[in-house]
A and B are shown apart, each in its own frame.
Chain A
Amino acid sequence: MNLSLNNVIHQAEQIILGKPQQIRLALTCLLARGHLLIEDLPGVGKTTLAQVLARTLGLKFQRIQFTSDLLPADILGVSVFQRDSAEFKFHPGPIFAQMILADEINRATPKAQSALLEAMEEQQVTIEGVTRALPAPFFVIATQNPAHQVGTFLLPESQLDRFLMRIQMGYPDALAERGLLSGVDRREIITRLSPQLESAELLVLQQLVRKVFVSPALLDYIQAILRHTRESARYTHGLSPRAGLALLSAARAWALLDNRNAVIPEDVQAVLPGVTSHRLQVVGEYQKQSSNTLTRELIEAVAIP
């Protein structure tokens, strides 16, 4: 089982060069049944990452490009009158796939955004009074462009909370970039990729994540982190209990990726930036610092008990 996970990582690293950490975090998110928000500039490989993951994991992939005139029906689907059978037939929307790439989610109106976010939360959609289950596994990768905010609808904090993690891609380093420039077209490679996992296997892995052992000592550590964010003068609000649960399940998935059956503090520290950076609001004077610096300082401020 873990062998196949290693294959997944290996194959993804062949295409997305120099980003092992991001690939692992995205996989962690998927294994922990969370959804992923990637916030970065266009052209740094957000779409490629989603496509590679979908291909490698053998998931049915759909991409929704969010625009300001996107309607909920464009995401969920719509019933159309059939002349020959004289009845309405439901045409499922792109949401009925296993992996959704919601590109530039902040460009759509809040109404369209919430259609997606509700589906993420409930794992089902209700259209015209009929509730339809979404396929499993169901994984959403949403992207957001942090620059050029004119005419967009930023996700409010409460909606950001629906995403287990928020990560940044960042520019590739020089070596990776050279490989990228000199290599074959990525899109071409992706079409040739073979799935390394069945979706049934993925469901089993998601079950396994929940069985990863968590010791009382580790819970002490997580609680110490939560308490610190609540008492520290640098955050307007501390982390919520839900954020604590998210931190725990992400750490479990990370431990599984690392071939371990118990969570250690390093797992928590590895997922902490992704899980907490979009959930913590810092007070005025710290806002200039990058979120990387802030999460690193958060990790350094809490001693491992």
Chain B
Amino acid sequence: MSKPLTYALLLTILMVTAPHAGHLPLWVSALCGTLLLWRAYLTYSGNPLPKRWLLMLITIASSSGIFISFNTLFGREASVTLLILLTTLKLMELRTARDAIVLIYLACFIIITNFLYSQSIPTALYLFATLMVILTTWVHLQTPSITFKPCARITSILLLQAIPLVLILFILFPRVQGPLWGLPQDAFASSGLDDKMSPGSLSRLSLSDEVAFRVNYTGDPPRREQMYWRGPVLWDFDGRTWTSGKAAQTTAPQFTELEQAIDYSVTLEPHNKTWLFALDLPDRISVPASLTHDFQVLSKEPVNTRLRYDVRSHLGYHANLHEAEWQIQRALQLPPSNPRARQLAEKWRANSGDDAAVVQAALTYFHQQGFLYTLEPPPLYANSVDDFLFETRQGFCEHYASTFVFLMRAAHIPARVVTGYQGGEFNDTGNYYIVRQSDAHAWAEVWLSGQGWVRIDPTAAIAPARVQSGLSAALPLMARNPPQWMRSLRLNWDTIANQWNQWVLGYNTERQFAFLTRLGIESVTWQKMVTSMAVGAGLVIALFALFMLRHMFAHRPDKIQTAWLKLCRKLAKIGLPRAAHEGAQDYAQRIATIRPDIADAIRDLATRYSALRYGMGQDEQTQREFIRLIKKFPSFRRMPESS
């Protein structure tokens, strides 16, 4: 095992395991790092590898350690950890070429395990580079006389040749949806909206730049002020926290006077919850989902992979004009706290003619009493609504929505809190909208007789810019405002990431069928796919084979050389093989000293061969004579007894 090869193998293992370091138990990462350093030092100093019993001891101890850490040796975490640990340990007994080959195969396998944790473009590019290193090491292992640079060239050519095959397999391999190759349920850590809301929960979320979902409008997009993406609807208030609570019974939602239909498709990032986001109010959706009585769209399963769905919404609507009595009651319940707020609401009630006037009074109050829109409001205590209304007067959208709904209920107007997202960032390179966690928002809905549920956004009364142009416009100092070039870079990157999500990661059965149909394949079946895959792959391989064979035939020896090689074979049979580097004259000279009986014949043939092959153009006659002499040369001559 040469030093450069050992270093290359160390680099291979380091590169392939490095992305795992973040989620392995700390002691495993530390142990693997130590082992790699130790192995590098042993190679550098030329010291012998550790004894077998010591390795056995480390292996047993660390495997038991993994079992203790995870309580199992199976499952994703434990088995990946075990695999990485054993692979690193394998380096410590790297003695023969066979060990090196095993390590290379293990490295290839560990590459795949990385995709269990991340499938982003940077990960894919990094692992591609790792694959380059692995294959270069492998080529060097097979042909040690070639240095790494030409090896890398060979590897690049190999990988380039593999591209058509990869494309064919990727496009045509039948996608079977099922648990067999689905990712584990917890594949994606998630952050996002919750089904409860307390002061501070949305302002924390709005600090995250993570993408919640992306939207493509089929026609013209609606105005920004209409982009309210409905998420969890919250009914129950305990004085501090809003929760969705449990509905005693369910009734179907009723819509009337629907207008302003709008079609769009949403690509939702996995968030491990069931709700699907849609504009108010959703009417039709392309995936199996139900519409609840408070107009939430709920998926059948938690969304734990990226999900794309088409929706039709109506921006103009009358929703639940005739609301059930028990719902009205539910929308009026209040905890027995916050006396000053109740007092204020009752004063409005007394002074106003109808419900709409009360709503207007509340909004005017917010607008005129010096309320401040901020991401970092001062803390609120036991009577959070009173504290906010009369003491601090600083809050984020959840404070306004919560307080507003409290005031409405206190004034006997049915109301509820709706959370979700508002607005989004337009990506002009990809022509779609990006909705991030920072666009998370909370607003209110009140039920007015004759109008049904009506959306009221109290935040719009304090900071209209939030609704019209987004958070960064409303809070220029609080929000991070990147320079223009960085913004466009981010948008371009998001466009690429979106394409990657749609076409590489999201290439499922439906996409596959749609794509193949667009290519002109009618009535796609998996039999057809397998057949065309086999034919396509066969064609590509045949093409490369043909190319290589032609390359080989281009160097086919001419008839003079063929004849000479025949003579060499004849001589090899009597124990006088020609070395590959041996010239004809030297060969003849060598044979002459061993076999004086054929010395003259061989010398003559060698001289003829040299002249024919390396001399200036020889006539046909001389060539034929040479071939004839070789044919005539007896294929077996016994060694003379004397020598």
Contact = CB atoms under 8 A, between A and B. Distances in A.
Contact of B613 (A215, A261, A299): A215
Interface stretch (B66-74, B142-150, B274-282, B469-477): B142-150
Given A215-B615, A261-B615, A231 B145 contact: yes
B581 A213 contact: no
B180 interface: no
A119 interface: no
Interface in A244-300: 261-266, 269, 299-300
A192 B150 CA distance: 58
Interface string A57-90: 0000000000000000000000000000000000
B614 interface: yes
Q: Which 10 A-B pairs have the closest CB atoms?
A: A303-B580, A266-B583, A262-B615, A265-B583, A233-B147, A215-B614, A264-B610, A264-B614, A213-B616, A231-B150
Interface string B532-572: 00000000000000000000000100000100000000000
10 contacts: A215-B615, A231-B145, A232-B145, A261-B616, A262-B615, A266-B583, A266-B586, A269-B586, A303-B581, A304-B582
Interface string B604-632: 00000011011110000000000000000
B43 interface: no
Contacts of A218: 614
A299 B586 contact: no
B614 A233 contact: no
Contacts of A233: 2, 4, 144-147
Interface string A201-215: 000000000000101
A301 B144 CA distance: 13
B113 interface: no
B585 interface: yes
A231 B616 contact: no
Interface in B114-170: 144-147, 150
- For A217, A233, A261, the residue with the greatest tally of chain B CB atoms inside 10 Å of its CB is A233
A299 B611 contact: no
B488 to A, nearest CB: 45
A261 to B, nearest CB: 7
B60 interface: no
- For A213, A265, A301, the residue with the greatest tally of chain B CB atoms inside 10 Å of its CB is A265
Given A232-B147, A233-B4, A233-B145, A269 B614 contact: no
A304 B4 contact: no
Interface string B572-606: 00000001111111100000000000000000000
A262 B4 contact: no
Contacts of A217: 561, 613-614
A302 interface: yes
Given A264-B583, A265-B584, A304-B581, 10 more contacts: A217-B614, A231-B147, A232-B145, A233-B2, A262-B610, A263-B614, A264-B614, A266-B583, A301-B145, A303-B581
A115 B614 CA distance: 41
Contacts of B585: 264, 266
B581 A299 contact: yes
Nearest to A285: B3
- For A218, A230, A231, the residue with the greatest tally of chain B CB atoms inside 10 Å of its CB is A231
Interface of A: 213, 215, 217-218, 230-233, 261-266, 269, 299-305
A269 B579 CA distance: 14
Contacts of B145: 231-233, 301
A224 to B, nearest CB: 10
Contacts of A262: 610-611, 614-616
Given A232-B145, A233-B144, A233-B146, A302 B581 contact: yes
Contacts of A215: 613-616
B449 to A, nearest CB: 88
Nearest to A220: B555
Contacts of A232: 145-147
B227 to A, nearest CB: 62
Nearest to A217: B613
- For B144, B561, B579, B583, the residue with the greatest tally of chain A CB atoms inside 10 Å of its CB is B583
Nearest to B582: A304
B35 to A, nearest CB: 26
B6 to A, nearest CB: 14
Contacts of A261: 615-616
A264 B608 CA distance: 12
Contacts of A263: 614
A73 B98 CA distance: 65
Contacts of B614: 213, 215, 217-218, 262-265
A215 B581 CA distance: 18
Given A217-B613, A301-B145, A264 B581 contact: no
Nearest to A230: B150
Nearest to A299: B581
A235 B82 CA distance: 41
Contacts of A304: 580-583
A266 B589 CA distance: 12
Contacts of A305: 555
Given A213-B616, A233-B4, A300 B586 contact: no
A84 B150 CA distance: 70
Nearest to A213: B616
A290 to B, nearest CB: 19
Contacts of B582: 304
